[in-house]
Amino acid sequence: MGKLDRSHIIEAGVWFLFFIVFFIASFEFNQPIEIYKFGATGWPRTILLLLLLVMFGNMAYAYYQGHALQQGRVGIADDEAEKTSYDRATFLRVVTALGVPFLYAISLKPVGFYAATPFFIAAIAFIFGEHKLKNILLVTLFIYMIIMIIFMVILNAPLPQGNTSPFYDFSAFMLRMNTKWQQLELW
């Protein structure tokens, strides 16, 4: 096995799975193009083939050199090369930190930006280390107001409004307030 370890095998497995999935999916659009000899699949399949070759190169390098940094590489920050091992509790906290923004993104369609954002700000501030309720509330209010002033009042940027009640109604209320504010013509 040389210097290969479990992480190298998993890494190669993920790339191989990627290759298989995309290669099989390429049959769905395997149609000829009259004006182009290589068709719609020529380019992606070539990239996939190169990816497979490079994956073997990566494995060969790992076999001989393990995790060692290749000589002469530039642009690698030290922290990117750090390996961190977690206990179970820390692992769960890291997963939560990664998962909450993703949940926020998914919630934007049904809940909308205006209603989901305050909860998101508070959740991120809490997960990232702020545990005083007063500070969380103040920061949530401050950031929410800043964002609303810049993007809703000044720039009139269209933001997701949600499509379920009562969130949609809340978005509509916010937009009505903004329209009334704009009609005051203070400037």
Partner 1 sequence: MLENFIAGSAALFGDPFTVAIFVFGVIGGMLFGAIPGVSMLTLAAILLPFTSDLEPAQGVMLFAVIYCTGTYGGAITAILFNIPGAPENAPTAFDGYPMTKQGRAGKAVGAAVLCSAIGGISSALVMMAATEPLAKWAIRNIGPPEIFALVFFGLAVASSVGGRTIWKGWLSVLLGLMVATIGQDPVGGIERYNFGFADLAAGIAFVPAILGFFAVSEIFVQAEKKVTGKYDAPPVGMSFPTILELWRYKIAVVRSILVGFFCGILPGIGATLAAFMGYGEAVRWSKDKKSFGKGNMEGVISSETANNAATGAAMIPLLALGLPGGALTAMMVAVFQMHDLEPGPLVFYNSPDLIWIVFAAMFYANLSILIIGVMETKTIMYLLKVPFQFLAPMILLLASIGSYIGRGLVLDVVVMFVAGILGFLLRRSGYSIPGIVLGIILGKIGEQNFAQGMQMVHYDLVTYFSRPICTLLILAGVLTLGFSIYQAFQGIKQKSPAS
CB of 28 to partner 1, least distance (A): 8
CB of 145 to partner 1, least distance (A): 12
Residues 154-183 that bind partner 1 (CB under 8 A): 155, 157-160
Residue (83 or 180) nearer to partner 1, CB:
83
- Please enumerate in sequence order all residues whose Cβ is within 8 A of that of 52, keeping only pairs 6 or more positions apart, or say none: 16, 19
List beta partners, residue 36: 33
Number of residues that bind partner 1 (CB under 8 A): 80
Determine, following the binding rule CB under 8 A, whether residue 4 of this chain makes contact with partner 1: no
One residue of 20, 76, 141, 145 binding partner 1 per CB under 8 A: 76
DSSP alpha helix (H) spans, 112-166? 113-127, 133-147
Residues 90-119 that bind partner 1 (CB under 8 A): 90, 93-94, 97-98, 101-102, 104-106, 108-109, 113, 117
Residue (71 or 183) nearer to partner 1, CB:
71
- Cis peptide bond upstream of 118, omega within 30: no
One residue of 6, 27, 31, 184 binding partner 1 per CB under 8 A: 31
Q: Is 127 exposed, middle or buried (0-12, 13-18, 19+ CB in 10 A)?
A: middle
Q: Give the whole-angstrom CA distance, residue 174 versus residue 180.
A: 10
Stretch that binds partner 1, among 38-46, 164-172, 174-182 (CB under 8 A): 38-46
CB 143 within 8 A of CB 94: no
Stretch that binds partner 1, among 49-57, 167-175, 178-186 (CB under 8 A): 49-57
Reading the block at residue 30, the tokens are: 């395997």
Q: Give the whole-angstrom CA distance, residue 152 versus residue 174.
A: 9
Residues 114-133 that bind partner 1 (CB under 8 A): 117, 120-121, 124-125, 127-130
